[in-house]
Structure 1
Amino acid sequence: MNYDRKANISQTTCLIQVGRRNAYHQAGHAAAIYLGNQHKQLPAVHFQVTIKPQERDSGQSSRTMRLSRQYAAKVEGGRLIQSLPLSFAEAARCLSQSEQEQYRCAFEADVINLLAGPLTEAKYVALRDDEVFNANLVYLGALKFYGGSATLDIITEYMECFVPDRTERKQKLAELFLAAYSFVNKRSTWSAITALAEFILDANKDEPKSIISCDDLIALLESRYVPATGQFSAPKSEFFATLFEY
């Protein structure tokens, strides 16, 4: 009986397996939400990482899936813009100049944070394969190969709302892409992202866990991230509390 029980425990432990690429992707996204927003003096937003089973392959039996099922981590929440308006210009029309600037910063931050996930995965793969990682080699369209297809769809919605003109939109997106690349590629940021990815991978070693809380994610990031100069300061205005719920 004891041997059977140990075997069952061992099998249960093996159930929770998150891929390393997935873990790094979500760690980069989460780090950008917390560290990136804080650096820009944007307000804190709630986010968490959920761990759920991936869809079952049609060629696998139920028993095989129980013993070897892969799980996927995913960041939930974390956006400053809770719902996109039909037009950024129309939504900002009645705002003061400073409020418009804050609203613009929120739009840009959400896009940068979304881009940070697939860029982190791309950097992890490059380092793993002993290849070069730079902004010239990892272009925007290539992010679909790093779990970024759905992300690119969301970003397209943001940018079409944010910048109506197609040429200007392309230029702005290139600017935000480089900002996300710079965030991911900083040594201090990468150290925190790596620690968070390993934390996600290790989260289910002791007992199954379907959610990694916002508090746990923040505590880990704060313990591993050391800003190059100075400390983060609080958001400038309470205006954010209602503006981003548009």
Structure 2
Amino acid sequence: MNTHHTTHTLSQFSRNNINRETAIYEAAHATAIYLGNKKRQLPPIFFQISITHDMNKINQAWVAKIDGGRLIHTLPSSIAEATRDFTDTQKQAYQLAFEADIVNLLVGPLAEAKYISLRDHTPIKPTLTSLHPLQDGDETADLQTVREYLECFFTEKTEQLSKIAELFLIALNFINNPSHWLAIVALADYIIKVGKDCIDCEEAGGVIAQQVY
């Protein structure tokens, strides 16, 4: 996929005001997309980390966010409906991609929670039956998307909770892998220091690979 994006240099003042928690969040999301999808033998997908000026914040801070990076581009009304005419192999591949997207979305808020717990020397106590403890204030867009994915999986709440518990543990194990965590922190540092308004997947992958391979 060829996507042209003009890169501008941010001022030193602006770079230093990128929220570190947000950088960790997005670095984790990017690392999960890059490493997790490769480990699951899923096709590589384009993403970029965009640095934008958030005019809604009181201090008009610079923030980072992921553009792209999802295997399922448009959510169906249900997985059963979307895969109705699929072979068993195709159904399995579709569900694997579906679950990979959810895990990759969960890794971001989990990594932010881990970073804050390490910084403040407080234990992280994620709750498997609710996403609420991962958010600070209003639910993030990524967690809203996770809920939408779950609703495509199952209509019953108990089944949704069972599936999120399963995928939550996969995401938690991902960030607790020492080499993964080193890659997340390295990419977060890079996001803050590099001074660009866009970091594409190849550039991010290069930073990640230095820590993992």
Distance 1:35 1:147, change over 3 A: farther
Q: Give the CA deviation at 1:56.
A: 4.7
Letter in 1 for 2:68: G
Runs of 5+ in structure 1 lacking a partner? 1-10, 59-64, 227-246
Distance 1:186 1:135, change over 3 A: farther
Superposed counterparts of 1:127-166, under 5 Å: 127-135=118-126, 140-145=131-136, 149-166=140-157
Letter in 2 for 1:196: L
2:49·2:66 contact (CA, 8 Å) conserved in 1? Answer: yes
Q: Give the CA deviation at 1:186.
A: 1.0
Superposed counterparts of 1:186-201, under 5 Å: 186-201=177-192
In the other structure, the counterpart of 1:52 is 52
Letter in 2 for 1:54: D
The question of 1:219 aligning with 2:170 is answered: no
2:127·2:133 contact (CA, 8 Å) conserved in 1? Answer: no
Letter in 1 for 2:204: L
Q: Give the CA deviation at 1:34.
A: 0.8
Distance 1:56 1:166, change over 3 A: closer
Superposition TM-score, scaled by structure 1 size: 0.77
The question of 1:15 aligning with 2:2 is answered: no
The question of 1:116 aligning with 2:107 is answered: yes
Q: Secondary structure at the match of 1:49?
A: strand
Q: Secondary structure at the match of 1:109?
A: helix
Paired with 1:125 and 1:138, the residues of 2 have a C-alpha distance of: 21
Letter in 2 for 1:72: V
Q: Give the CA deviation at 1:108.
A: 0.5
Paired with 1:222 and 1:213, the residues of 2 have a C-alpha distance of: 14
Paired with 1:18 and 1:200, the residues of 2 have a C-alpha distance of: 9
Paired with 1:98 and 1:57, the residues of 2 have a C-alpha distance of: 47
Q: Deviations over 1:77-96 (max 9, x none)?
A: 00000101111101111111
Q: Give the CA deviation at 1:147.
A: 8.0
1:46·1:78 contact (CA, 8 Å) conserved in 2? Answer: yes
2:26·2:64 contact (CA, 8 Å) conserved in 1? Answer: yes
Q: Give the CA deviation at 1:164.
A: 2.3
> Paired residues, what number?
203
Paired with 2:189 and 2:21, the residues of 1 have a C-alpha distance of: 11
Q: Give the CA deviation at 1:155.
A: 0.8
Distance 1:198 1:159, change over 3 A: same
2:126·2:133 contact (CA, 8 Å) conserved in 1? Answer: no
Q: Give the CA deviation at 1:150.
A: 1.7
Q: Secondary structure at the match of 2:135?
A: helix
Letter in 2 for 1:219: G
Paired with 2:157 and 2:135, the residues of 1 have a C-alpha distance of: 21
Letter in 2 for 1:15: S
Q: Secondary structure at the match of 2:136?
A: helix
Letter in 1 for 2:26: Q
Distance 1:221 1:181, change over 3 A: same
Runs of 5+ in structure 2 lacking a partner? 1-9
Paired with 2:62 and 2:24, the residues of 1 have a C-alpha distance of: 14
Q: Deviations over 1:137-185 (max 9, x none)?
A: 9962111228852222111111101122221111001111111111011
The question of 1:168 aligning with 2:167 is answered: no
